[in-house]
Amino acid sequence: MPYRLNINGTIRRVDVPPDMPLLWVLRDELGLVGTKYGCGKGLCGACTVHVDGAARRSCQLPVGSVGHAKIHTIEHIGATVIGARLQQAWLKIDVMQCGYCQAGQIMSACALLGQTPQPDTDQIDSAMAGNICRCGCYNRIRSAIRIAAGMEEETGRVA
Amino acid sequence: MSHEQAAADLTRRTVLKASLLAGGGLALEALIPLPAGVLDAREGKSAPPAQLSAFVSIAPDGTVTIVSKNPEIGQGVKTSLPMMVADELDCDWSQVRIAQADVDQQRYGEQSAGGSTATPKNWLPMRQTGAAARAMLVQAAAMKWHVDAGELSTAKGRIFHRATGRSVSYGKVASVAATLAPPDLATVPLKEPGQFTIIGKPLVGIDSARIVKGQAIFGVDTRLPGMLYAVYEVAPAHGGRLVKADIAAAKLSPGVKHVVPIIGNGDADTGLADGVAIVASNWWLANQARSKLAVDWDLSAAKDHSSSVYRAKADAAIAAGAGTDLRLDGDPAAQLASSAKRISARYDYPFIAHATIEPQNCTARYKGGRLEIWAPSQTPQRGLETLHNALGIAPEAVTLHLTRAGGGFGRRLMNDYMVQVAAIAKAVPGVPIQLIWSREDDIRRDYYRPGGWHSFEAGIGANGDLVAFSDHFVTFGDGKTPARAAGFNVAMPPAGLIQHLHYSQSMLPTVVTTGALRAPGSNALCFASQSFLDEVALAAGTDLPQLMLSLLGERREIAAPDNRSPAFDTGRARDVIERVLQTSRWTQRPTERARAKGFAFYFSHRGYFAEVVEASVSSADVTVHKVWVAGDVGSQIVNPMGAENQVRGAVIDGLAQALTGQAIEFIDGAVQQSNFHDFPLARIPMTPEIEIAWVKSDKPPTGLGEPALPPVIPALTNAIFAATGTRIRSLPVRLKTA
């Protein structure tokens, strides 16, 4: 089936079966490899993208259901104010170990700050609970979100 | 080994080679032998002296390129090893570019990630390489200015002659430096720790800026013109063999280009498993086509390889008696019989999977008899051997590129995915193939941390001393040799600290593939032994830290029983224990109901770690409030930014093993778990505050990927006992609802 998808502000044409998850359209058809495969069941959040601003698991999103929705991926997120602040915060305290899940983490964090500009720890934990970091960078993920939200100064010491 | 010994060892065979870069500049290649006796990736095994090579180049514009030789799996070596070179080179970190080395044993020596060995193996050679390059640049400037090299100083990539106020950048003299004879690495002057400008500074990982933008950097991100995507369907049970495959329907599935049954060599551990490869234009299409395969598997070898059968056999082995002696000190039987108090307990833990978040994958192209591979592997050089053994492809015919790996934890010490993709690529010559395992493949075809059972007994004297200790360990193996990563550690405390001790072992055969998982051996042995010693301490009227301190006694080194593994320094152990008791305010017990602290200590991978966990239990739920860590990994933390992340990650990893319900179970060799719903990983809400204290000893720096993990599990389970009176003797923790 031919589809016209609005991805990162550009119309991209693909010809794939309607039940192919958006994840595999992004990765294998369009070469946008920043969005990651982790579980294929919506359990780990590595494949998180934004669909009209909301965080969605692209491994659970058949391309046939996307329609005209605006899709944004990690490759584009630095062009948004919140996304750029998150990327800077991530680098300030070097959140990551292996880094594989971090695209998904940043996409979920970006959706959180879009909804809740000053989240408390419970709100952070609740919004980020769907994103697994196998390396266990969770203390720094919390800190980086607070730094991006202007709630925590980067002091060189992170919890 | 001391610095002096290591330096003396280096003098004999060190070769430095300088050459001119194309376009001018210095290229320095160092062939540096490692000190003899440096540990192999597998803890406890001694490796032959290996060659290590580093490559430093300095362009005329002053840009310093440092080759990073080892696989980066999230442990931070791609940043920390070049930091050692750059500091002694005395350049500015902003001048440094880092290039990932391809696999080339002759040029780079050992290239591996495992056993927390990168820091101890490279601490001297990397610094010497940087210092040698600096000495040559200084010599070049001295010649240019007709002054004595001793009058010159360096800082941030420039050379200064204070007397005349002159200075010159490294880039300007690099081409002349390239014509000079390199100095002797063993005598090249190294900085005093107080002079470090890069080592010890918290630096951001070299790839981090690319990671936050989603740039292609991992194995699965490899993209080649005309590349196709593959899945590899293997037998539904461990030990299964392919009998017959009907591939007609799968071939007609959308997007499918090739379906290739592959008969392997039946060697599940180091060879090629039988399977059916499906190659398609898109990975999801390849994976979808699996349901169209009709394959007959011979699963007879897997019959009765079930968790319930293993448990029953372990029970029988323990009931039958002591097994084979591993260590017998004094006369523990007599001492037990005559001790004032005698306690015994059984402990066990399950198989667990690594579950790296990037599933196993590899990319390959076979063309004109040559194989080119892009691999996220922890042991790529061993991968070349396996390719040779399983497929007959000579190492000289292989070009092997290392990609960043989305986690390792020991899983990628094995190269099964590399051999599989090579077999597929060989069947479809000229076409680049990317093999990706589904998460289900990854959970079901792991080299698991093997399960194990312990039957402990301890005798306590009238004065409360521990007088005798025994452990009968039931593990997996062929009867002679334990399965991969299923061995015991005969130095496990209290061995060497008391007179009368007995360690013994029984083995159960298994068809399941096992392997090293972060702090192999230690991650399980520490849980069992430090939990039982907590029971001993309470029975003796003291607590575990006091029992450990009294067992450790005066400061001394206890040689490893094999005389090759690192000696155990009781002073370093005392120091981390005393430090964590201070930082955690151990004697101040929480006043809330069902809330308490627990303690544990362990020495593994050359690191000394004592940890305290404060946890509370409500109904059947355990909440970890805080974890205090005190660790001694030597005189210097190379990159505190990465080091603290390793410790926090290890703590969270251990808590997940205990608390999320992780257990791999088998029925007739078939793994019952498949994805993160039934093999759960840690998630952010369970993350406690983690306070880290470094105890700096005067010993050379050692690694941090592993040693912080083992103590956190018994510290937690000991806290649960203190909070509730329920002793956790089996992992994962399963509390009954009150």
Q: How do residues B680-708 score in pLDDT, each as one tens digit?
A: 999 999 999 999 999 999 999 999 999 99
How many angstroms separate the CA atoms of A24 and A3, rounded?
A: 14
Q: Judging by beta carbons within 10 Å of its beta carbon (0-12, 13-18, 19+), is residue B539 exposed, middle or buried?
A: middle
- As beta bridge partners, residue B382 has none
For residue B34, pLDDT over 60 is answered with no
Residue pLDDT, tens place only, B508-547: 999 999 999 999 999 999 999 999 999 999 999 999 999 9
- pLDDT for the residue B737: 64
Percent of chain A with pLDDT over 70: 96
Instruction: Tell me the pLDDT tens digit for each residue of B163-198.
Output: 999 999 999 999 898 888 888 888 899 999 999 999
Give the C-alpha separation, B660 to B630, whole Å: 25
Residues of chain A contacting B407 with CB distance shorter than 8 Å: 97-98, 100, 134-135
Question: What is the structure's pLDDT at B729?
Answer: 98
CB spacing of B223 vs A135 below 8 angstroms: no
Task: Pick the range with the lowest mean pLDDT from B49-63, B216-230, B388-402.
Answer: B49-63
Residue indicated by tokens 């660790």: B631
With a cut of 70, say whether residue B278 has pLDDT above it. Answer: yes
In the predicted model, what is the mean pLDDT of residues B295-302? 97
- State whether A135 and B649 contact (CB < 8 Å): yes
Query: What pLDDT shows up at residue B210?
Result: 98
Chain B residue numbers with beta carbons less than 8 Å from the beta carbon of A34 are 213-216
Please report, rounded to a whole number, the percentage of residues in chain B having pLDDT higher than 90: 85
Partner residue opposite A100 with nearest CB, options B202, B407, B645: B407
**Which pLDDT score is estimated for B54?**
57
Could B684 and A156 be called an inter-chain contact, meaning their C-beta atoms sit closer than 8 Å?
no
A20, A37, A39 ranked by CB distance to B220: nearest = A37
Q: What is the pLDDT of residues B56-69, one digit of tens each?
A: 889 889 999 999 99
ipTM over 0.90: yes
pLDDT at B41 over 60: no
**Chain B: residue nearest A125 by CA?**
B685
> Does the distance separating the beta carbons of A135 and B74 come in below 8 Å?
yes
Tokens 């039982």 sit on residue: B532
pLDDT of residue B42: 31
CA distance, residue A54 to nearest chain B CA (Å)? 19
Mutate to test the interface with A, among B218, B231, B284 (most CBs of A within 10 A): B284
**Cβ–Cβ of A134/B282 closer than 8 Å?**
no
**Best to test chain A binding among B206, B212, B228, B694 (most A CBs inside 10 Å):** B212
pLDDT-derived band at B31 (thresholds 50, 70, 90) equals: low
Range with lowest mean pLDDT among A28-42, B178-192, B356-370, B382-396? B178-192
Whether the pLDDT of residue B2 is over 70: the answer is: no
Taking contacts as CB-CB distances below 8 angstroms, the residues of chain B near A77 are 214
Residue B51 pLDDT > 60: no
Q: What are phi and psi of B585, to 5 degrees?
A: 45, 60
Question: Per residue in A45-65, pLDDT tens?
Answer: 999 999 999 999 999 999 999
Q: Please give the Cα distance from B118 to B77 (Å, whole number).
A: 7
Would the pLDDT of B415 be above 70?
A: yes
Closest by Cβ to A102, choosing from B212, B216, B436: B212
Q: For residue A44, give the 3-state DSSP assignment.
A: coil
Task: Give the rounded percent of residues in chain B with a pLDDT score beyond 70.
Answer: 94
Chain B interface disruption, residue of A14, A27, A39, most B CBs within 10 A: A39
How far apart CA A95 and CA A116 sit, in angstroms, is: 21
Give ranges for CATH 3.30.365.10 in chain B: 3-211, 227-300+356-444, 307-352+448-724
Question: Over the stretch B555-587, which tens digit does the pLDDT of each residue have?
Answer: 999 999 988 889 999 999 999 999 999 999 999
- CB distance A43–B76 less than 8 Å? no
Find, in chain A, the residue whose alpha carbon is nearest to that of B643: A97
Chain A interface, mutation test: which of B211, B231, B648, most A Cβ atoms within 10 Å? B211
Contact criterion met (CB < 8 Å) for B284 and A28: yes
Minimum-distance CB partner of A134 among B229, B407, B642: B407
Question: Who contacts A105 (Cβ-Cβ below 8 Å, separation ≥6)?
Answer: A45, A48, A95, A128, A131, A133, A141
Cα distance from B434 to chain A (closest Cα, Å)?
11
Q: Is it the case that residue B436 has pLDDT exceeding 80?
A: yes
Higher pLDDT, A108 or A156: A108
Crossing angle (nearest 10°) for helices B522-539 and B640-659: 70
- Identify the pLDDT of residue B738: 52
Under DSSP, the state recorded for A23 is: H
Confidence of residue B38 (pLDDT cuts 50, 70, 90): very low
Does B676 sit within 8 Å of A128, measured CB to CB? no
Q: List, in sequence order, the alpha helices (H) in B621-690.
A: 640-659
> How confident is the model over B452-468, as a mean pLDDT?
97
Distance from CA of B255 to the nearest CA of A (A): 9
Q: What is the pLDDT of residue B30?
A: 61
Query: Angle CA(B461)–CA(B466)–CA(B470) in degrees, nearest 5?
Result: 115
pLDDT score of B443 more than 60: yes
**A14: closest CA of chain B, how far (Å):** 12
Confidence of residue A159 (pLDDT cuts 50, 70, 90): very low
Question: Residue B408: which of B675, B118, B84 has the closest Cα?
Answer: B118
A88 pLDDT higher than 50: yes
pLDDT band at A19; cut points 50, 70, 90: very high
The reply to whether residue A136 touches residue B202, judged by beta carbons under 8 angstroms, is no
The dotted CATH code for B3-211 is 3.30.365.10
For chain B, give the mean pLDDT: 92
Nearest CA in chain B to A73: B214
Q: Flag if A37 and B359 touch (Cβ within 8 Å).
A: yes
Cβ–Cβ under 8 Å, residues B534 and B339: no
Size of interface A-B (CB pairs under 8 A): 192
Residues contacting residue B502 through CB under 8 Å, at least 6 positions apart: B322, B325, B327, B328, B329, B332, B333, B469, B470, B471
Q: Which residue has the higher pLDDT, B76 or B39?
A: B76
Q: List the single residue in A with minimal CA-CA distance to B228.
A: A28
Q: What is the pLDDT of residues B223-271, one digit of tens each?
A: 999 999 999 999 999 999 999 999 999 999 999 999 999 999 877 777 8
- Domains in chain A: ranges and CATH: 2-76 (3.10.20.30), 78-148 (1.10.150.120)
Average pLDDT over residues B277-304: 98
The dotted CATH code for B227-300+356-444 is 3.30.365.10
List the CATH code of the domain at B307-352+448-724.
Answer: 3.30.365.10
From the number of C-beta atoms within 10 Å of its C-beta (0-12, 13-18, 19+), residue B314 rates as buried
**Cβ contact, residue pair A99, B358, below 8 Å:** no
Q: Give the one of B211, B221, B648 whose C-beta lies nearest to A102's C-beta.
A: B211
**A91 contacts B212? CB cut-off 8 A:** yes
The pLDDT assigned to B146 comes to 97
Comparing CB atoms, the residue among A46, A90, A99 nearest residue B207 is A99
Mind telling me how many Å the CA of A68 is from chain B's nearest CA? 23
Nearest-by-CA chain A residue for B647? A136
Q: Report whether pLDDT(B37) > 50.
A: no
